Amino acid sequence: MGSADRIRVAARLATEQHALRPVAVVVSAMSKITDLLLDTLRKAEAGDQTDVDANLRHLTTRHIDCCGALLPPERQEAALGGIHALIQEFTRIAKGMMMLGERPPRSVDEAMAVGERLSALLMAEYLESQGVAAVAVNAAEVIATDALFGNANPLMEPTRQRAAKILQPLLDKHILPVMTGFNGSTLDGRPTTLGRGGSDFSASIAAAALDARELWIWTDVDGIMTADPRLVPNAQVLEAVTYAEAAELAYNGAKVLHPRTLAPLAERQIPVWSKNSFAPEKPGTRILPKIECKQGPHAVTSMADVALVSIEPASAALSGTKVMARSLDALARANVELLAITSSSAPPNSWKKIWRWSWLTVTSNRFKWMYRWA
Ligand code: ASP
Ligand code: MG
């Protein structure tokens, strides 16, 4: 959803399929918009009025320009009204944070969903202008989650019920729902988000909730590759991988898929295509419950920006297990993602061994904060 041109391509891909069978679309925000929203909220919390205003202007220009390039003149007024109303909503939340000097997690989630609500609106308006009946749907009305703001988990049964009520009737009427990725809401209606890059996850949750035949995930690479092509120039696209392989690659740093995407699909065994919207004629990678293939490794992946933390009990008299338990508990409270844990023994200077633990973790601001003060 990078630009008016990319939205046109996305709409064309959706329209082609919509002519053949019922289709629901899930969109992410326009590129870099989620970062911009987050930055604006941080600046609001810090009371930085000038930067907040500059960001808001940028947010507005980006969407108004896109609207101008995308829609015929007679449709622009209504769409612009919608864009301004959403940006107004975002501004209201940011101003609240500025007054409070803090960023309550649920307000952050409510504000962050505005990026996807803007792009869903643009996409639906464009489809309508092309003669395709389409409606923008806020996933807060469809995807039910727990209350882990910023990284919420879907509640599948209530989501199925909501999808049956909101999405299915549209599909039955041959109307194309354009649902926001990334967001949801708790059972009592508080807005949540599913974690950065979560639009893929939203799409898989929706696919599972609707018992979809397949899920197509459109990105800007040719599919899942044997390695990161920026690091390994002769990396190749894999024809097919299993859910387990794709999930493991995503979890360990392959950017092509959000790590949690495949979980909702596994139970209903819904197949996935990972395809390139810049080259839709290329086959892409199929992700399936099982595949026939040669033995041996299929792909490698790597991760940057991780921290390695080592701890060692100061004396053999301390219970290493308790030290470890306390450290892990602190990490859990900070919602830090743990990648790997090892233990080894430091050179014993008494008959007792001193165990030493290391763990790898994704660095995050909260983690750094904790690390500094804990
Ligand atoms: N817009 C959200 C993000 O940037 C979700 C997504 O793009 O998948 O994290
Ligand atoms: Mg994405």
pLDDT computed for residue 366 by the predictor: 40
DSSP string, 11-30: HHHHHHHHTTS---EEE-PS
pLDDT computed for residue 109 by the predictor: 97
Can you tell me which residue has the tokens 């008299």? 317
What percent of the chain stands above pLDDT 90? 69
pLDDT digits (tens, 9 = 90+) for 64-109: 999 999 999 999 999 999 999 999 999 999 999 999 999 999 999 9
Q: Centre a 10 Å sphere on the Cβ of residue 342 and count the other Cβ atoms it contains.
A: 11
Positive or negative: CA dihedral 250, 254, 255, 256 = negative
In a domain, 51, yes or no: no
- Asked if residues 120 and 1 have their Cβ atoms less than 8 Å apart, the reply is no
In a domain, 83, yes or no: no
Measured in Å, residue 264 CA sits from the centre of ligand 1 at 18
In a domain, 340, yes or no: yes
Question: For the chain, what is the domain count?
Answer: 1
pLDDT computed for residue 100 by the predictor: 95
Q: Collect residues with CB below 5 Å from ion ligand 2.
A: 197
Report whether residue 199 contacts ligand 1, using a CB cutoff of 6 Å.
yes
Q: Relative to the CA of 258, which ligand 1 atom is closest?
A: 8
Nearest to 194 by CA among 125, 145, 137: 145
In a domain, 217, yes or no: no
In a domain, 231, yes or no: no
- Asked if residues 238 and 296 have their Cβ atoms less than 8 Å apart, the reply is no
pLDDT computed for residue 369 by the predictor: 38
| pLDDT tier for residue 161 given thresholds of 50, 70 and 90 | very high
- Asked if residues 298 and 239 have their Cβ atoms less than 8 Å apart, the reply is no
Q: Relative to the CA of 202, which ligand 1 atom is closest?
A: 8
pLDDT computed for residue 303 by the predictor: 79
pTM of the model: 0.85
Q: Which ligand is nearest to the CA of 116?
A: 1
32: left (phi over 0), alpha (psi -120 to 50) or beta: left
pLDDT computed for residue 331 by the predictor: 81
pLDDT digits (tens, 9 = 90+) for 279-332: 999 999 999 998 888 888 889 888 777 777 877 777 777 777 788 888 889 888
Report whether residue 198 contacts ligand 1, using a CB cutoff of 6 Å.
yes
pLDDT computed for residue 330 by the predictor: 86
In a domain, 266, yes or no: no
Measured in Å, residue 30 CA sits from the centre of ligand 1 at 9
Beta bridge partners of 174: none
| pLDDT tier for residue 354 given thresholds of 50, 70 and 90 | low
What percent of the chain stands above pLDDT 70? 92
Say if residue 222 is exposed, middle or buried (CB neighbours under 10 Å; 0-12, 13-18, 19+). Answer: buried
Name which residue leads in pLDDT, 342 or 160. Answer: 160
Q: Relative to the CA of 194, which ligand 1 atom is closest?
A: 5
pLDDT tops 70 at residue 350: no
pLDDT tops 60 at residue 347: no
Q: Centre a 10 Å sphere on the Cβ of residue 43 and count the other Cβ atoms it contains.
A: 20
Least confident piece of the model among 38-42, 125-129, 185-189, 246-250: 246-250
Name the DSSP letter for residue 141.
Answer: G
Report whether residue 196 contacts ligand 1, using a CB cutoff of 6 Å.
yes
Nearest to 270 by CA among 221, 224, 206: 206
**Residue ranges making up the domain that contains 336:** 309-358
**Which residue owns the Cα nearest ligand 1 atom 2?**
197
Residues near 132 by beta carbon (within 8 Å), at least 6 away in sequence: 11, 14, 15, 18, 176
pLDDT computed for residue 143 by the predictor: 98
Report whether residue 28 contacts ligand 1, using a CB cutoff of 6 Å.
yes
**Which residue owns the Cα nearest ligand 1 atom 8?**
197
Report whether residue 82 contacts ligand 1, using a CB cutoff of 6 Å.
no
Measured in Å, residue 195 CA sits from the centre of ligand 1 at 8
Q: Which ligand is nearest to the CA of 202?
A: 1
